[in-house]
Chains A and B, each alone.
Chain A
Amino acid sequence: MALIVMMVAMACQASAAREPKRDPGTRRVRVLYVGDTVWRTWRDITADPVFSVVPVPATLGYFSGDALLKFMRQYIPHTYQTFVESVDLLVLSDSDRSLFTTQQESWFRDGVVERGLGFVMGGGFEAFGGAAYGRSWKGSATEEALPVECMSNTAWDIRPFFARPAEGARDHPFVTSLPWDGMPTFGGMNIVVPKQSSIVLLRSVPTALGDPEYPVLIYWEVGKGGAVAHTPDWNPGWGATVMDYWEYYQDYIVNIAYLASGLDVPQELQLVHSVRTGLAGYALQKSMVYRSWNSRKASAATSPLWRDASMRSSP
């Protein structure tokens, strides 16, 4: 089965450019962000008007078992049809495999390959082969949609490194969209093996002599969809410095979402950065003005519920 999927995927890859999957009504990309929702990463994606995000708390490291089961029951679509009709981009951010059923793992793969979903896996103790609390993603149906092979045990390296453009990818639109020189170090990463037809966009540059180099950001188009593997955690722990001290962190995260969704990654760095900063400032300002007298709406906007685009109110 896996072989057939791979062959179909590679055949499709050679075909025409990918058509981004969006909500036909709102033109927005509907994101199901599953994993460590305690950090700002999903909010940074939400601040970009292209995306409409539903965050689902789902990491064993941050949430207790009963709560997790409830979140999964409530917020993960119950059928494959609902899943592919309501989600355009699936993000699994440091989320353990044991939280999902075998059927859901297959939905994730099929959604990408057959229905053109975007897919991002963000690193951490519970991603790729990082089975700190549960199970490695190795051997799962979901792994077939990833551009990398996962390892079978707790495969990570916690030595700090810089993420920099890989040779051969310097002209890729994602790589040219950001200034990499000022990006601080990550504190660790999952170890993976890129698949044959994937593109390694970023690789690690060790901070100490003799440390090994690893692939950091890997992309491929598979079937009708596309997938990105981000091997470091993009928020605390391993990504804390990047998240807190890099001016272009939001652009980095959002551009990864663009890449996985099949959207053109904007190249006008300073202009787009100013717009995104303005939008983030607006969101903060609005929450301060409105929250005091409209707490019900404010709490709805931050709760992990399916949100209709109409719930985005404007002054």
Chain B
Amino acid sequence: MKKEADELYLDQAYDSVLERIAQVREKLSALSADAVKLKDQTMLWVYLVEWLAVSVTSLVCGVALWTLMVKRKVYREVRLTRLGS
């Protein structure tokens, strides 16, 4: 379409060039809108995966921290040392 417009310009058919350029720019605008839409859809998944990864990591770390440091589930107190006995 742009090539057509260029050829028309070379023939000095300026009115026709204006029409063609308006059509091309309309298509470019539609293409631009599609690109933005596609980008938004892609970024939604990117953000979702990022959010899930961060959330799951926080959860696992939190559970481990709570279990080991607060509840002391695997903590065993040393009763005697060899020196004490």
Contact = CB atoms under 8 A, between A and B. Distances in A.
Interface of A: 27-28, 48-50, 266, 268, 271-272, 274-275, 278-279, 281-282, 285-286, 288-289, 292-293, 312, 314-315
B21 A278 contact: yes
B17 A50 contact: no
Contacts of B5: 49, 279
A32 B32 CA distance: 33
Given A279-B21, A289-B28, A289-B31, 15 more contacts: A48-B9, A49-B6, A49-B9, A49-B10, A268-B14, A275-B14, A278-B21, A279-B5, A282-B2, A282-B24, A292-B35, A312-B2, A312-B3, A312-B6, A314-B3
A275 B9 contact: yes
B18 A272 contact: no
B70 interface: no
B85 interface: no
Contacts of B3: 312, 314
B1 interface: yes
A169 to B, nearest CB: 24
Interface of B: 1-3, 5-6, 9-10, 12, 14-15, 17-18, 21-22, 24-25, 27-29, 31-32, 35
A83 B6 CA distance: 25
A289 B35 contact: yes
A220 to B, nearest CB: 25
A127 B2 CA distance: 36
A251 to B, nearest CB: 13
Nearest to B39: A292
Contacts of A289: 28, 31-32, 35
A275 B29 CA distance: 18
Contacts of B17: 275, 278-279
A279 B17 CA distance: 9
Contacts, number: 62
Contacts of B28: 282, 285-286, 289, 315
Nearest to A285: B28
B32 A315 contact: no
A285 B25 contact: yes
B33 to A, nearest CB: 10
A272 B14 contact: yes
Given A279-B21, A289-B35, A315 B2 contact: yes
A278 B18 CA distance: 7
A50 B21 CA distance: 15
A288 B14 CA distance: 25
Contact of B25 (A48, A266, A282, A293): A282
Residue of A48, A266, A279 ringed by the most chain B CB atoms within 10 A: A279
Given A282-B2, A315-B2, A274 B25 contact: no
28 contacts: A27-B10, A28-B10, A49-B5, A50-B10, A266-B14, A268-B14, A271-B14, A274-B18, A275-B18, A278-B18, A278-B21, A278-B22, A278-B25, A279-B9, A279-B17, A282-B25, A285-B25, A285-B28, A285-B29, A286-B28, A289-B28, A289-B32, A289-B35, A312-B6, A314-B24, A315-B1, A315-B24, A315-B31
